[in-house]
Structure 1
Amino acid sequence: MMMLLYYTKFDDVSRGKEKKMEIILPRLAERLKPLRKRFGRTQKDMAELLGVTERHYQKIEYGHINVSATTLILLADYFHVTTDYLLGREDTHDHH
């Protein structure tokens, strides 16, 4: 199941999501840079792939902003990993 990673503060349920975001964003961030380097790509290359500015991509890679399900899928497909790997839900990075 794919989840959208939106950050809100409206009620108890949203505060629960906020806690999850504190875990997910750093895991996504810590996995993106090594993958990007392994593929020999720059942040600018990745920004162009995703159709965003280089600064926007940097914020994703540093864990400062969340990503849509579409962006998460694009990244997983490009790097040949699962979305669960990118989100830190599994340790192996191979596609099944």
Structure 2
Amino acid sequence: MDTQIMAASALSGANIVFLAALTAVWIRNYRTFRTSLVLGLLAFAVVMLVENAVALYFFFTMQSLYSGDPHVQQAVLVLRGLQLVALTFLTYVTVR
């Protein structure tokens, strides 16, 4: 596996950790408040969690999909990094 795809896999793993924390907080909040806003946040977290899990699956099982073009690998890495930055901010303000 190429270095950039390994880094993207690690970022997806970190995204999953943040999303699991967000999901736990939002489940607790939904049980308390029962508002559609919290339900929407919970749905967002679950969808993003599934997306990152599927991405990890593809990184490890379909390496040839990403290994052909270094520009694609770089784009995947940058997008996973941006997602991590966004989830870091969102987790920080949610847990705070």
Q: TM-score range by the shorter chain?
A: 0.3 to 0.5
Greater length-normalized contact order (CA 8 Å, ≥ 6 residues apart): 2
Which has the larger Rg? Answer: 2
TM-score if structure 1 supplies the norm length? 0.38
TM-score if structure 2 supplies the norm length? 0.38
Task: Report the structure, 1 or 2, having the larger helix content.
Answer: 2
